[in-house]
Structure 1
Amino acid sequence: MKRNMLIRLMIDLTMTILLLVAMAYQITGNTIHELVGVVLIILFIVHNILNKRWYSTIFKGRFNVRRILSIVVNLLFLVSMAVIIISGVPISSEVFPYVPVENDMILRQIHIQASYWGFIFMGVHIGMSWGTIINTVRKMTRITGTSRIRTISLCIIAVLIVVYGVQNSFERDMLSRLTIYNPFGWSSDESSLGFLIDHLAIVGIYISGTHYALKFIHKQDKAMASKDR
């Protein structure tokens, strides 16, 4: 695999983990939250620099379902990250303490909601590249052959992750975090591991859902193409 592709994938996965850490505000505290936020900004800038060619080709070539979805998701992810950065700087009390701001509660609401939307868009974004990630892992582990047992096992694991993620989406009231002000809303004595596992399962919904939806669309396209011949 090309080195740049591997770097891009690692940055995507690292940003997902760091976004989870940043969202765990009441567990990590404000200092770690802001420092992680700065690292996220740097990685986001690097990510866009490495993918700058995508912007020059956005309106070129053939538009199919996968490409349209990619453009929409990437632009929404870009907007959500921009909103997170723009709203986060004025409410910073440690990294950017000298930026004056009034009505910071409104900015905090925008900052939190944008974080959750960015979390979802990032999951979909990774899901669109999940096939490439799997192929990378196979090459790194030198697993080149196919195995029906392995395929079934991975599908079962994906289903279990999605089921657990859906359950936690309801238990953590994810819908309200996307629509109304809810200052992260978990107990300060929650374990870091529990928070991480629950939210990895939630993002797993969007990674798995996107991956298998695209596989289904690809099969439908191939079936349609074979009928037209």
Structure 2
Amino acid sequence: MSGKLMFRLGNDLMMTILMLFAIAYYITGNMVHEIIGIVVLVQFTIHNFLNRRWYKTLFKGKYNVRRILQIGINMLFLITMAAMMISAVLISSDLFPFIPIDNDMALRQLHIQAAYWGFIIMAVHIGLSWGMLINSVRRMTNIKGANPIRTIGLRTLAVLIVAYGVHASFEEEIGSKLFIYSPFGWFSTQSTAKFLIDHLSIMGIYIAGTHYALKFIQKQEESPARKTALAAKLKEDK
């Protein structure tokens, strides 16, 4: 695996972890929260720079269901991140206290909801690239060929993560955090370890759901092509 790909994967992994800690405001406190936000902004900028060729291909080639979904999710992720970062600077009390904002309640609400929507969209964004990530891990670990036992074990683990993630979604009231007005944020007394386990499991719902939805869509798109190819071959054989 090339050093560039390793750097890209490392940057994305650290950005994901730091975004989780950024949501845990009650654990980090405001100063650490704002510093993490700056680091995430830098990493997000690096992420987009390394993937700048993707923007150049937006209006080229064919648009199938997978590509339309990818473009839509990527644009939503970009919008939510921009809204979260801009509102963060405007309501900052430690790193940017010199910016005068008289009534910041609306901005605080925008920041909080953009953060939680960004969290969900980020998980879907990862799910869109999950197949590529799996292949990268296989190359790193020199895993070749299929192994039924490994496949069953990993799929069982995925089911358990999703099941716990559904439980954690209700326990964490994710739906309320996405839609209900709360400019002062959401507080909890859970430990850092439980917070990470819960939110990683919640991400697992959307990563797994997106990954397997794409596999289903791909099969549906390949079926007509296979039938056409088979019909053409039968015609040639005649």
Match of 1:84 in 2: 84
Gaps of at least 5 residues in structure 1 are none
Cα gap change, 1:175 to 1:27, in 2 (>3 Å): same
Match of 1:175 in 2: 175
Structure 1 vs Structure 2 CA RMSD: 1.3
By relative contact order (CA 8 Å, sep 6+), the higher-ranking structure is: 1
Match of 1:161 in 2: 161
- Aligned residue pairs: how many? 228
Match of 1:44 in 2: 44
Deviations 1:187-224 (A, max 9, x none): 2x320000010000001111111111111111222222
State the alpha-carbon separation in 2 of the partners of residues 147 and 186 from structure 1.
Answer: 44
Structure 1 stretches of at least 4 aligned residues deviating more than 6 Å after TM superposition: none
Q: Which secondary structure state, in structure 2, belongs to the residue aligned with residue 185 of structure 1?
A: coil
What one-letter code is carried by the residue in structure 2 that aligns with 1:119? F
Written as runs of structure 1 = structure 2, the 5 A alignment for 1:188-199 is 189-199=189-199
Match of 1:28 in 2: 28
Deviations 1:66-90 (A, max 9, x none): 1001100000000000000110001
Deviation at 1:7, TM superposition (A): 2.8
State the alpha-carbon separation in 1 of the partners of residues 126 and 9 from structure 2.
Answer: 8
What one-letter code is carried by the residue in structure 1 that aligns with 2:154? L
Cα gap change, 1:195 to 1:8, in 2 (>3 Å): same
Match of 1:54 in 2: 54
State the alpha-carbon separation in 1 of the partners of residues 5 and 55 from structure 2.
Answer: 16
Written as runs of structure 1 = structure 2, the 5 A alignment for 1:66-105 is 66-105=66-105
Match of 1:4 in 2: 4
Match of 2:187 in 1: 186
Deviations 1:9-41 (A, max 9, x none): 332222111111000000111111001000000
State the alpha-carbon separation in 2 of the partners of residues 127 and 2 from structure 1.
Answer: 23
State the alpha-carbon separation in 2 of the partners of residues 132 and 124 from structure 1.
Answer: 14
Q: Which secondary structure state, in structure 1, belongs to the residue aligned with residue 84 of structure 2?
A: helix
What one-letter code is carried by the residue in structure 1 that aligns with 2:187? W
Deviation at 1:2, TM superposition (A): 4.2
Match of 2:65 in 1: 65
State the alpha-carbon separation in 1 of the partners of residues 151 and 224 from structure 2.
Answer: 26
State the alpha-carbon separation in 2 of the partners of residues 40 and 67 from structure 1.
Answer: 26
Higher mean alpha-carbon deviation, 69-78 vs 14-23, is at: 14-23
What one-letter code is carried by the residue in structure 1 that aligns with 2:56? S
Match of 2:232 in 1: none
Deviation at 1:56, TM superposition (A): 1.2
When Rg is computed on C-alpha atoms for both structures, the one with the higher figure is 2
